Amino acid sequence: MANRKRRQHIHFAMKEIIDKLSSYNIFNYLFPGVVFSIFATKFTDLNLSFDNLFLGAFAYYFIGLVISRFGSVLIEPLLKLTRIVKFAEYKDFISVSKSDNKLETLSEANNMYRTLVSMFSLMFLTFGFQKLACKWEFLRNNQAIIILTLLFFLFLFSYRKQTNYITKRINASK
């Protein structure tokens, strides 16, 4: 009986959290985190599945957040550099977004596509890292510190980029 009550409590808590997530959070964090975890578990030596749905949801969200940040900090500048994509001026985006209600939806979809490109890029990198770790003992023995270091720098540069966006938005509104 206690186990059933606990499951009901977890189910209720999960529903509350999901209800508070925006569509942006679902399609740019949770969805790619779940898909990446499924692919990684199926096609690599990683096991990114969770028996505990509550902990799994947070883990999938975090994995998706990492994927999204990788796309924002590395994939997007690479696509700009290679001229595969070209952005409008940020001040123009701010100005147009005040009168065009569809722009936010289009931007959200755009970010989802970038995140999916990032997810597949990270899958390729994961495959490559695992192959190299089989050959190079240094990688095999230092995986945790390598991943933590990469995550540190990823979020450091994400913070810098977000701060720059906030500053640009403030300057565009003056």
Predicted confidence (pLDDT) per residue in 124-170, tens digit: 999 999 999 999 999 989 999 999 999 999 999 999 999 998 998 88
Q: Which domain holds residue 161?
A: 22-173
Q: Is residue 117 part of a domain?
A: yes
Mean pLDDT of 82-107: 88
Q: How many Å apart are CA 116 and CA 118, to the nearest integer?
A: 5
For 25-51, b/e burial (b = at least 16 CB within 10 A) is bebbbbbbbbbbbebbeeeeeeebeee
pLDDT at 75 over 70: yes
Give the per-residue pLDDT at 23.
76
The pLDDT, as a whole number, for residue 12 is 66
147 located within any domain: yes
pLDDT band at 173 (very low <50, low <70, confident <90, very high): confident
Is 17 contained in some domain?
Answer: no
What is the mean predicted confidence (pLDDT) over 102-106? 89
49 touches 133 (CB < 8 A): no
More confident residue, 174 or 86: 86
Long-range contacts, 95-102 (Cβ 8 Å, 24+): 95/172
Q: What is the pLDDT of residues 116-125, one digit of tens each?
A: 999 999 999 9
4 CB-near residues (< 8 Å, 6+ apart):
none
pLDDT at 1 over 60: no
Give domain status of residue 81, yes or no: yes
| The total number of structural domains that make up the chain | 1
Q: For a pLDDT cut of 90, what percent of the chain falls above it?
A: 61
